Chain A
């Protein structure tokens, strides 16, 4: 019999020392807890980035609840509608009729016709034994003037195949259908929820070489968004976008470039060298910026000294690369809150095992995680433990600290400029407290919020 052998087994605990943590899954996957830090985006928020688009979710009330209130809290309820599935639809097999008539009803009630409908189905649909593709086709035929985009809110499939987040991104560029030209000097940045920072050196460098950078955030109309299909290249820096980039290559033969969001200066330089080679332009010399970034980290260390620092995975997809960057500059990273180690973060993870074996990996979704915050709160009240400087909302929550960097989804930061911006935010967080509860409860960092 073949047996899956791991160096370490996933821990049945809420925390584990990094030297004992298994890759890629440090913890056993059993019952899960959900921390009240809501900076990460959900698929409804990602979908709302598309201009002139209306969302319709076809699902049970329980599944509707999260998305309708996401829409309402971001003042987008006028771009959202629902069709509720009830037991009789399952028992009588009327789901197809419900969907077709439901979409007609919603469109009849909207005062302004959208250019695109994102029509979401959920896990439940995949257990109903009906041909949802044919239903989407029928709805498309009934509404030829509206782009009907099939979308999926299917968390039951998150452990197999492409993840719901990856799928959502891929679907959003399925409205790019046919390239009518290729704008050599136009590059898309795809798949990121937050717009790339205006100060990112990547932006300045490419603009300086005559390239226009465009992302969904720059599009005011649906047509403008669709016109992104005529760019010469899709650039992305988050692994979650890979399926979308591959789909665009397969369907439209669009080139893509993965500019990994690493915090390792050598890897950043290598990203630039490879991108310059691909674009047939001279590689940039960012050595001065690299020195500035290194100096900013040293200066941060000088300020915070041995203050314990905790990070979490909602901050960036390369959380161990980030941790290694800090420890390389002597910063005392004591904990990383994550439930998974990304494959491309493995090298940094393995390196930290050797250099900082006592660093704690803290689960964010284990049953034990429920009590981390209250335990730290009690310890803080009794002055039993030193205040932690947290980077990321979940770390702030679990360590019950008001000294934290309020950020998620990478913050739109990249490269050396990103490192410098992070050090500025950490400096500010060290010196100043924030209203933790108020800030971390807002859904989707960077989204409009009425909370």
Chain B
């Protein structure tokens, strides 16, 4: 049946995708919710909480305040705290209960901005969408608001490193394995350099210079909103993909069989990550199918190699798509529906939170196919 998750976990939600995207950017994020949202996010989905101060709060909304529509209390409370700490921006993040009474977050943001002179955003999240959408909306808002200028180098791209924006990097998709640094290193190894990283390891100043890039590399669905803004505003082209080095994964897969016959392989995960993994495995002679439960892009450029991609939004869809599959690569909390399959664990924080965070591998490497794709996009 639709909407039941009897045997597996569920993905993180839009509220937490927003929080994760904005975490390092010096803002103040307020989830407009009663309680529980903040501890859930900070416990399971935010590995930086202990080491890096970031102002993420909840409004502690009560039933009576909801019924009486007391937006004024939310505004007063934010004015009080933001007035004291003067964050770079304020983000109000919607949650299920205020959604029920049609809270107008954008209007609240406008009032705050007028009163404080601090940029403010209102996000129509409601806890009923996936983290991917929250990330997309948050990065889009940041690009719209802060990436305002473009300085073009006089030198051609043959004379200098190609400047690349990395879009859609958060712990929810990449863990704390150093993937952001590995992506930057991969760029350097291929004659490119990171212009900005949305949003791990880049300062707000670097983020505001996103308009200076030659190309954007969208590494997760969460980066699509910002990519479109930068394309529309500055004409910066964008490419989808993650440069995975799957040699070790392939070795582990082959160890699972006696005769090197893996049968059909399925990768369950976020769309761009799943497709990139499938494409990298194909280079090693392993054909696989990418299955995705979360938001996905229908743009054909996301899958130019024509990999077998299937959107499976429900647990039952996944069960059906796995029926003819022999080997599964996925987060360990998918095991409940893979009991008769060979299973290679590939933890994904957006699904299992911090449970397997120490086992998340940094697979960034090689990815020559992606380098070629970036060059083709720039030259076209």
Contacts and interface: CB of A to CB of B under 8 A. Distances in A.
Interface of A: 12, 29-34, 36, 38, 59-66, 68-69, 72-73, 77-78, 81-87, 89-90, 98, 101-102, 104-106, 109-110, 122-124, 126-128, 153, 155-160, 367, 370-371, 374, 437, 441, 443, 450-451
Contacts of A81: 4-7
Contacts of B59: 31-32
9 contacts: A38-B39, A62-B126, A69-B353, A73-B355, A84-B3, A102-B1, A122-B96, A127-B100, A160-B63
Contacts of A69: 9, 40, 43-44, 352-353, 355
B276 interface: no
B197 to A, nearest CB: 24
Contact of A62 (B3, B63, B77, B96): B96
B271 interface: no
Given A32-B35, A437-B50, A110 B6 contact: yes
Interface in B75-103: 76-78, 80-81, 84-85, 95-97, 100-101
B37 interface: yes
Interface string B35-63: 11111111111000110010101111111
Contacts of A33: 38, 57
Contacts of B16: 62, 65
A129 to B, nearest CB: 10
Given A33-B38, A72-B352, A123 B63 contact: yes
Nearest to B333: A72
Nearest to B354: A451
A254 to B, nearest CB: 31
The 7 A-B residue pairs whose C-beta atoms are closest, nearest first, are A62-B127, A66-B40, A60-B127, A62-B13, A127-B100, A30-B77, A155-B35
Given A73-B355, A371-B53, A64 B10 contact: yes
Contacts of B81: 30-31, 367
A300 to B, nearest CB: 30
A178 B33 CA distance: 39
A65 B97 contact: no
B13 A158 contact: no
Given A60-B13, A65-B13, A84 B5 contact: yes
Contact of B97 (A66, A124, A160): A124
B127 A63 contact: yes
B34 A123 contact: yes
Interface in B15-46: 15-16, 30, 33-45
Nearest to A82: B5
Contacts of A98: 3
Contacts of B216: none
A284 to B, nearest CB: 41
A124 B115 CA distance: 31
B213 to A, nearest CB: 33
Contacts of A109: 4, 6-7
A125 to B, nearest CB: 10
Contacts of A30: 60, 76-77, 80-81
Interface of B: 1, 3-7, 9-16, 30, 33-45, 49-50, 53, 55, 57-64, 66, 76-78, 80-81, 84-85, 95-97, 100-101, 126-130, 333, 336, 352-355
A87 B3 CA distance: 12
A73 B4 CA distance: 20
Contacts, number: 196
A106 B49 CA distance: 35
A95 to B, nearest CB: 11
B62 A31 contact: no
Interface SS, B side: mixed
A31 B9 contact: no
Contacts of A123: 34, 63, 96-97
B128 A77 contact: no
Contacts of A374: 53
B211 to A, nearest CB: 32
Contacts of B49: 36
A15 to B, nearest CB: 15
A157 B61 CA distance: 9
A59 B84 CA distance: 36
A65 B13 CA distance: 8
A404 to B, nearest CB: 15
Interface SS, A side: helix
A61 B11 contact: yes
A163 to B, nearest CB: 11
A437 B47 CA distance: 12
B127 A61 contact: yes
Given A84-B10, A127-B97, A443 B43 contact: yes
Nearest to B55: A370
A66 B62 contact: no
B9 A86 contact: no
Given A155-B36, A158-B34, 13 more contacts: A29-B60, A30-B81, A32-B38, A61-B128, A62-B16, A62-B96, A62-B126, A65-B40, A69-B352, A72-B353, A81-B7, A157-B62, A374-B53
Nearest to B43: A38
A12 to B, nearest CB: 7
A62 B15 contact: yes
B58 A61 contact: no
A124 B80 CA distance: 28
Contacts of A31: 30, 57-60, 77-78, 80-81
A289 B64 CA distance: 49
A450 B130 CA distance: 25
Contacts of B3: 83-86, 89, 98, 102
A77 B336 contact: yes
A201 B297 CA distance: 64
B206 to A, nearest CB: 23
Contacts of A126: 63
A32 B4 contact: no
Contacts of A61: 10-14, 127-130
Given A62-B15, A159-B62, A82 B336 contact: no
A79 to B, nearest CB: 12
A66 B36 contact: yes
A154 to B, nearest CB: 8
A346 to B, nearest CB: 24
A65 B12 contact: yes
Nearest to A68: B9
A385 to B, nearest CB: 19
B45 to A, nearest CB: 7
A63 B36 contact: yes
A400 B336 CA distance: 40
A160 B61 CA distance: 12
